[in-house]
Amino acid sequence: MSQPIIEFKNVQKKFGDTTIFDGFNFRVEENEIVSIIGPSGSGKSTLLRILMTLEGIDGGYINVGGESLWHMLWNGAYVPASNKHLHKMRDQLGMVFQHFNLFPHMTVKRNITEAPMRVKGLSRQEAEKSAEELLELVGLSDKADSYPNDLSGGQKQRVGIARALAMRPSILLLDEITSALDPELVDEVLDVIRNLAKEQSFTMLLVTHEMYFAREISDRVCFFDNGNIVEEGKPEAIFTDPKETRTKAFLNAYLGQ
């Protein structure tokens, strides 16, 4: 097997007294699209938030792109990562949030160009050119000068995707990106992800409750429960012939059978 782009080794994570991960192991290959499904509170968001460095870990190692995420080599020993190290590691990662988290005080265009200009040092022209392409990709070219609060939920989320893509991450983290949307707006957002999956080479890690979408888009589906991967495999295998009783129960409840 080639070098994985993401690897969790024996990761521990606690919130106070509650243990979320206890010796968690997980790997993702480059350009793989992995869907994570599972009941509420099983630690799906926590997994993505740890990768995005929004949460620390209490033990174990995580490698991203062959380098340790939360630790760095210093005089031959591993020490907790510095801000500088985290800054470097975050360069590979992008995230789209359930509640969009767009910057309300900036136009759509500024939302997309701000980070490339300030963080990557792109010139205004470069950043705006790239923003125009991305807005076209998500079908919102006409909204460049609108403010987020004047957009529908589906439009906001498409801006959220464009904003994350503008930083050219190699790994995209998507946490229930359609669950805050009205049902009729879900598809316009999923279509964008479908196209991304088809046209570009990305590693994508997505937490979702849209089972049909997970089945259609993923290379691999992981069923999570209690901070563990209970079952994983090809989408067909998981959805048509789950082996574990907990997976069966979850899918039955979800797919209404």
Partner 1 sequence: MELGEIVSVLLQGAVVTIQIVAMALPLAALMAFVFGLIRLYAPAPFKQLAIVYIEFFRGTSALIQLYWIYFVLPFFGVSIDALTAGVLALGLNIGAYGTEVVRGAIQAVPKGQYEASVALNFSASQRLVYIILPQALVNMIPPFGNLSIELVKATSLVSLITIADLTFKAKSLADMTLQVGEIFGVVLVLYFAIAQCLSLFFRYLEKRLSRGLGRGGVN
Ligand X SMILES: Nc1ncnc2c1ncn2[C@@H]1O[C@H](COP(=O)(O)OP(=O)(O)OP(=O)(O)O)[C@@H](O)[C@H]1O
Q: How many other CB atoms are found less than 10 A from the CB of residue 236?
A: 10
Near ligand X by CB under 6 A: residue from 46, 92, 157, 247: 46
Give the nearer residue to partner 1 in terms of CB position, either 159 or 238: 159
Q: Which does 134 bind (CB under 5 to 8 A by kind): Mg ion, ligand X, partner 1, none?
A: none
Backbone angles phi, psi at 248, to 5 degrees: -60, -50
Measured CA to CA, the distance from residue 159 to residue 156 in angstroms comes to: 5
Q: Which does 42 bind (CB under 5 to 8 A by kind): Mg ion, ligand X, partner 1, none?
A: ligand X
Strand partners, 13: 21
- Under the binding rule (CB under 6 A), the answer on residue 206 touching ligand X is no
Near ligand X by CB under 6 A: residue from 3, 14, 41, 195: 41
Q: Candidates 23-31, 40-48, 120-128, 215-223: pick the segment binding ligand X (CB under 6 A).
A: 40-48
Cβ contact 220:35 at 8 Å: yes
- Under the binding rule (CB under 8 A), the answer on residue 82 touching partner 1 is no
Measured CA to CA, the distance from residue 168 to residue 171 in angstroms comes to: 9
Cβ contact 13:23 at 8 Å: no
Strand partners, 27: 7
- Under the binding rule (CB under 8 A), the answer on residue 187 touching partner 1 is no
Measured CA to CA, the distance from residue 39 to residue 225 in angstroms comes to: 7
- Under the binding rule (CB under 8 A), the answer on residue 118 touching partner 1 is yes
Q: Candidates 43-51, 77-85, 140-148, 243-251: pick the segment binding ligand X (CB under 6 A).
A: 43-51
- Which of 233, 257, 243 lies closest to 37, judged by CA? 233
Q: Which does 74 bind (CB under 5 to 8 A by kind): ligand X, partner 1, Mg ion, none?
A: none
- Which of 2, 26, 28, 3 lies closest to 13, judged by CA? 26
Q: Candidates 44-52, 85-93, 135-143, 166-174: pick the segment binding ligand X (CB under 6 A).
A: 44-52
- Under the binding rule (CB under 6 A), the answer on residue 20 touching ligand X is yes
- Under the binding rule (CB under 6 A), the answer on residue 156 touching ligand X is no
- Dig out the tokens for 227 from the structure: 């901070």
Near partner 1 by CB under 8 A: residue from 8, 97, 223, 250: 97
- Cα dist from 139 to 84, 145, 172, whole Å: 36, 14, 19
Rule CB under 8 A: which residues touch partner 1? 52-54, 83, 87, 90-91, 93-95, 97, 99-107, 114-115, 118-119, 145, 147-150, 163-164, 167
